[in-house]
Amino acid sequence: MILQIGRWGDDIEVESPEVWQDTSPTGTNQVVRVTGKIAQTSLAFMQAVRTELLEQVGMLVAVTWSEDSTRDGFYILRGVTMNLLHLTESGYVSFSVELERIGSESRTELQSLIAGTVLTNDHGVDEADSEPFHAPPIGVVSYASGAGAPTAMTRTSEDGDVYVFRDVDFDGDPSWSVPPSSYYGGAAEIWVSSRLRTGLDAPNDVDDFMLNNGLIRVTPRLTSQVSDGRLKVETYDGTQWDTAIEYGVYFDATTVIPEWHAISLIRNTPEVCVIRLVRDADEAPPTSNRHILDLRLRRGSRNLECHYSWTGGTQDIQIRREATEAATAVTPTGATSAVGIRATANDASGNRYVMATPHTHTQDLVNGRILRATETTMSFMLGAEVGGSGAVAGDAAADMMLQYLGHINETVRAVVK
C-alpha cells in the first residue's frame, strides 16, 4: 500500500494508516490527520524517510493513497511528527501528519506566478528577441498561458512527454490542471547521496549529487571515487540517456577548480531547483576567498543554467569542454554578437553540445571553450542539441540560447477553480 505525500513515499511501503481523520471546520479548508507506522530494512533508509517527510512541511504537496483514491488531491503539509523508535540496524517509525486540503483535481487549479524579463546581456538581445518558455508537469490538462500566444512543442523525457510552451508572455501567469499522481512528472529534482531530496536539508555529499529534470541531468565527475570539480552533463534523446559531456570551470583561464568542498540546496521545487557548490580557495598559502558555482534547472528545460562567482579579485573565467571538440559560434536572430557556441559536428550520440553566456566573451572554437575576461562572476548555460544538425525547432542551439536569455522566475500556487 503506497501513501505518497509530495515526493515522499514513492519508494516506501507504508502499512495501512492506523488513522485517517478528516475534519471540516466551518469557514476553513478540510484538515486531514494521518497516523501510521513504517518499518524499513535499514536504519539509514529510515533516517532518510524521516528527513524527507519533515522537509516538506509548509509545502504544497500532491497526495495519493493507493487504498482510497477519493482522498487524492492537493494539500499543504502543516505538520509532521516522526518517532524513530529503534536506533539499531533497522528503523521503525511511527508518524503522524497534518494536511490542509486544497482540493481534488477537479477542484484545484495550479497557477504559475511568473516574473521575468530578458537577462541583462551584451549581445543586443531584447525582450522581444528572447524566447521565455514555460513547461507544466507531464499529464497537464486545461493549460492557459494567461497572455500572449506561445507555441507548444513536446520534449520526450525519461518520465514521458513534457509540453513546453515557447515564447510565453512575461506578464502572463499560466494556469493548468493535473492529476495529483502526475504533479511531479517531469519535475526538476535534486538527488544527494543517491536519494531524492524533498527539501533543503541534505548531507554534504559533493561526490554524489544530481540535478535532473528528465531531459538533462548533471552529476560530478569522479576520479578515484572523489569529485574532481568537473561536471558531467547528460542529455535524454527521447529513448535513453546519452553519453555525458564533461565541463570544467577554469580559474584564471588556466587552473581548473579541482574539487568542490560543499553542496547546499538553495531551492527545491518541482518547477525549479537550484544547488550551490562551494570550494574554499585551497591555495598555498590559503586565502579567505571562495569559488561558488550555482546550478539551476527548470522543468522542461534543456539548459543547465550556471552562475560562477569568485570572492577575490578579478580574473579570467573560462568554461571548457574537457574533451576538446571543435565548435561553431552561434548568433541567434536579434543578437548583434555570438551568444555562445555549439559543436560543429554531431557527436557519437547524434547530439551537439551548446555553451552560451550573456556576457561579452571570447571563444575558442578549436577546443570548445568560452572565456570572460577580468571579472569576478560569469553566468553561462550548458546543454545539447538533441538530434544535432537535425534538432527540431525549439531544440536548436539558437533557440536554446534565446530560451536561456528569456529568464523566468516561477512559483506555483494552488487556487480553487
Partner 1 sequence: MITELLMQQGSFTVPLTIDTPHSIWERIGGTESTGADVTEIGTPGHVVITPQEMEPIKVGGVSVLAEARYTGVIKQKKQTNRKMSLTGVGLEWWLGTDDGLGDIIRPEVVLSASTMSNALDNLLPAAITKGVVTETGLSTITSNHHFSNPLEAIRTVMAQAHCEFRINPDGVMDAGGHRFLFNVAVPTVVASRDASGSDPNFLGIPIAKSEARRDYSQMATGGLVYITEADGTRTEVAGYIRGTTQRDLHGNAIVHEFAEEQVKGDSAANEDYIAHRLSQYVTNSFFSLDTDFYEVEGGMPVGDAWHVFDPPAFVDLSNPIQYRGDVIYPLDLRVMEATWPVRDGMGVYFRPSIGTGGAGAVLDSDWIDLTQFVAWEERALTRIILEDLTDFEVAGG
What type of residue is 352?
R
Least CB distance to partner 1 at residue 295 (A): 7
Nearer residue to partner 1 within complex by CB, 46 or 293? 293
Q: Which residues bind partner 1 (CB under 8 A)?
A: 113, 115-117, 119-120, 170, 173, 264, 266-267, 272, 274-276, 292, 294-296, 307, 309, 311, 377, 379, 407, 409, 411
Residue 276: strand, helix, or coil:
strand
- How far apart, in whole angstroms, are the C-alpha atoms of residue 199 and residue 54? 8
Nearer residue to partner 1 within complex by CB, 85 or 266? 266
Nearer residue to partner 1 within complex by CB, 96 or 377? 377
- Provide CB contacts within 8 A for 203, sequence distance 6+: 192, 193
Nearer residue to partner 1 within complex by CB, 192 or 295? 295
Least CB distance to partner 1 at residue 103 (A): 22
Nearer residue to partner 1 within complex by CB, 67 or 282? 282
Least CB distance to partner 1 at residue 307 (A): 6
- Provide CB contacts within 8 A for 412, sequence distance 6+: 60, 110, 111, 112, 113, 269, 270, 271
Least CB distance to partner 1 at residue 407 (A): 5
Q: Which DSSP symbol is given to 243?
A: P
CB 218 within 8 A of CB 233: yes
Nearer residue to partner 1 within complex by CB, 14 or 378? 378
CB 351 within 8 A of CB 244: no
What are 178's three cell numbers?
493535473
Least CB distance to partner 1 at residue 120 (A): 6
Least CB distance to partner 1 at residue 180 (A): 22
Residue closest to 328 by CA, chosen among 294, 289, 363, 361: 363
Q: Which residue has the cell 499560466?
A: 174
Residue closest to 95 by CA, chosen among 46, 42, 59: 46
Least CB distance to partner 1 at residue 293 (A): 9
Nearer residue to partner 1 within complex by CB, 52 or 271? 271
Angle among Cα 398, 410, 171 to the nearest 5 degrees reads 75
- How far apart, in whole angstroms, are the C-alpha atoms of residue 404 and residue 104? 34
